[in-house]
Amino acid sequence: MKVKQYLTIILPDELANLPVQVVRGVGCPQLVIETGVADERLVCVEKRERKYAFIWQQNDYKKVALDEILWIEAVGSYTRIYLSGNQRLMVSFNLAVVERKLPPTDFLRIHRSYVVNLKHVSGLSGNSLKVDGNLLTIGREYRDSLLERFVFLGVRRSGVR
């Protein structure tokens, strides 16, 4: 006897009226619905998790583990990538282009100029995140989506949910 399998989607109360559409066979092995963020979106995730990036540096590509990336900063129309071990790389793409190529489960935009690797966040101080001993300012429009990615235990101050 074959057991029936079901897909269960549980939406938070505030999204109870959100229409849900399931599309099959579009070449996307896994579909993730990101809710509770400023811009709710569907993200197609490949089954094979990408753990490395090739970053163009002068005449060739440098292989970088995504876990080595601490944070990424917009510098005009360029992007500076901060890596562990005090390394920095510059690419000739703007921050939005780089952000789209990174896994949204690990990387989060916290300011119009910063994307952080959540694995390297060591603390929250006022309106800044601590990453590798550096304080990165959290933009007002990104604060709620950032705070929703963490569980807060202990003393709660106004502004922290």
* Calpha distance 28→32 (Å, rounded): 10
Name residues whose C-beta falls within 8 Å of residue 40's C-beta, 6 or more positions apart in sequence: 15, 18, 33, 34
Joined together, the tokens standing for residue 160 give 């922290």
> What single DSSP character describes residue 19?
-
Q: Look at residue 10 in the predicted model and tell me its pLDDT.
A: 75
Nearest alpha carbon to residue 14 among 144, 118, 112:
144
* DSSP H/E element including 87: strand 87-91
Q: What is the pLDDT of residues 126-141, one digit of tens each?
A: 999 999 999 999 999 9
Q: Are 138 and 131 in contact (CB under 8 A)?
A: no
The whole-number pLDDT of residue 152 equals 87
Contacts of 110 (CB under 8 A, 6+ apart): 116, 129, 136, 137, 138, 139, 142, 146
Q: Within the chain, which residues score under 50 in pLDDT?
A: none
At position 64, the amino acid (one-letter code) is V
Pairing of strands 78-83, 69-75: antiparallel
Amino acid 48: pLDDT: 59
Q: Is the pTM of this model over 0.75?
A: no
Residue 143 has a pLDDT of 94
